[in-house]
């Protein structure tokens, strides 16, 4: 599989405090990677830096065939990013919201409507196109927000806790959605749930205190769990 993104020796901090300490990982085309770790491990910071939202103090992030998303617009356009708490406009319909994100992502005007409808259909939110975002349930908002993240057909999709607050039925639907997205893109999502990552992912990376403490196939998750428990112990939440 072709490498979509390379992260090398990444150091990121806020003020005088370093949050990530020399993080390295690769993402490959068609791969689903689960990023696990306790609260405060640096998962959201890593995703934000990979998306180009944050600068770094050291190391590098590069999208294959382009540059660093932090300062390269072309590289940034190849990424779809869903933050942990996406801001949907309550008085906009789902279709108008996703069309607006298509505009921001550089989708040509004549293609924005069709691209938005296609993205909503792909995330199972097609029937919500004319619904106001402020009247959607938690699961429905997640699907609409995810449609916004993929509307420009990115090579890499970064999702921060996409399963947070979903009920069991919605969680199963999300699992199927992530697998379908991987048919066209590399997918990285953060989660607190090792069992859920095992069921969904090809590979799992465990982050603790800003460093990678385990990286391996989901099929070997029992070994990863042992490494995790050894590394973070009672800090898991």
Tens-binned pLDDT, residue by residue, of the chain (237 aa): 689 999 999 999 888 788 999 999 999 999 999 999 888 899 999 999 999 999 889 999 999 878 999 999 899 999 999 998 888 999 999 999 999 999 999 999 999 999 999 999 999 899 999 999 999 998 899 899 999 999 999 999 999 999 877 788 888 888 898 999 898 899 999 988 888 888 899 999 999 999 999 888 886 555 656 666 665 555 444
CA distance 27 to 94: 30
CA distance 96 to 91: 10
| DSSP tag of 188 | E
Q: Please answer whether residues 145 and 82 qualify as being in contact, where contact means their C-beta atoms are separated by less than 8 angstroms.
A: yes
Q: What is the pLDDT of residue 220?
A: 55
Q: Which residues of 171-198 are buried (b: 16+ CB within 10 A; e: fewer)?
A: bebbbebbeebbeebbbbbbbbebebbb
| Strand intervals (E) in 40-85 | 58-63, 79-82
Quote the CA–CA distance of 11 and 24 in Å, as a whole number.
10
CA separation for the pair 90, 97 (Å, rounded): 9
Consecutive H or E run containing 170: helix 168-181
Q: Is the CA virtual torsion 113, 174, 212, 30 positive or negative?
A: negative
Is the domain 1-78+156-237 a CATH 3.40.50.300 member? Answer: yes
23, 37, 38, 65, 231 from 41: Cα distances, Å: 12, 6, 6, 30, 12
Give pLDDT, residue 15.
80
The pLDDT, as a whole number, for residue 224 is 58
C-alpha to C-alpha distance for 35 and 37, rounded to whole angstroms: 7
Between the alpha carbon of residue 187 and those of residues 4, 100, 133, 236, 237, the distances in Å are: 10, 23, 25, 24, 23
A 10 A CB-CB count for 40 gives 14
Tokens (6 digits) for 163: 């399963």
- Spell out the residues 6+ positions from residue 33 whose beta carbon is closer than 8 angstroms to its own: 25, 27, 186, 187, 188, 189, 201, 202, 203, 204, 205
**Predicted local confidence at residue 196, as pLDDT:** 82
* In the chain, domain spans: 1-78+156-237, 85-153
């Amino acid at each position: 599989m072709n490498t979509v993104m390379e992260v090398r020796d990444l150091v990121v901090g806020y003020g005088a405090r370093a949050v990530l300490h020399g993080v390295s990982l690769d993402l490959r085309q068609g791969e689903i990677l689960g990023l696990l770790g306790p609260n405060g491990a640096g998962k959201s910071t890593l995703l934000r830096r990979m998306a180009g939202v944050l600068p770094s103090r050291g190391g590098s992030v590069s999208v294959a065939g382009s540059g660093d998303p932090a300062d390269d617009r072309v590289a940034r356009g190849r990424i779809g990013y869903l933050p942990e708490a996406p801001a949907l406009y309550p008085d906009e319909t789902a279709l108008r919201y996703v069309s607006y994100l298509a505009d921001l992502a550089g989708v040509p005007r004549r293609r924005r409507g069709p691209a938005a409808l296609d993205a909503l259909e792909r995330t199972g939110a097609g029937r919500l196109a004319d619904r106001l975002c402020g009247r959607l349930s938690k699961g429905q908002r997640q699907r609409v927000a995810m449609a916004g993240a993929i509307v420009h057909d990115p090579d890499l999709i970064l999702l921060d806790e996409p399963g947070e607050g979903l009920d069991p039925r919605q969680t199963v639907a999300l699992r199927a959605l992530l697998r379908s997205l991987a048919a066209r893109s590399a997918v990285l999502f953060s989660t607190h749930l090792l069992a859920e990552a095992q069921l969904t992912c090809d590979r799992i990376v465990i982050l603790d205190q800003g460093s990678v403490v385990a990286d391996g196939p989901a099929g070997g998750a029992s070994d990863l769990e042992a490494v995790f428990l050894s590394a973070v112990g009672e800090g898991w939440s």
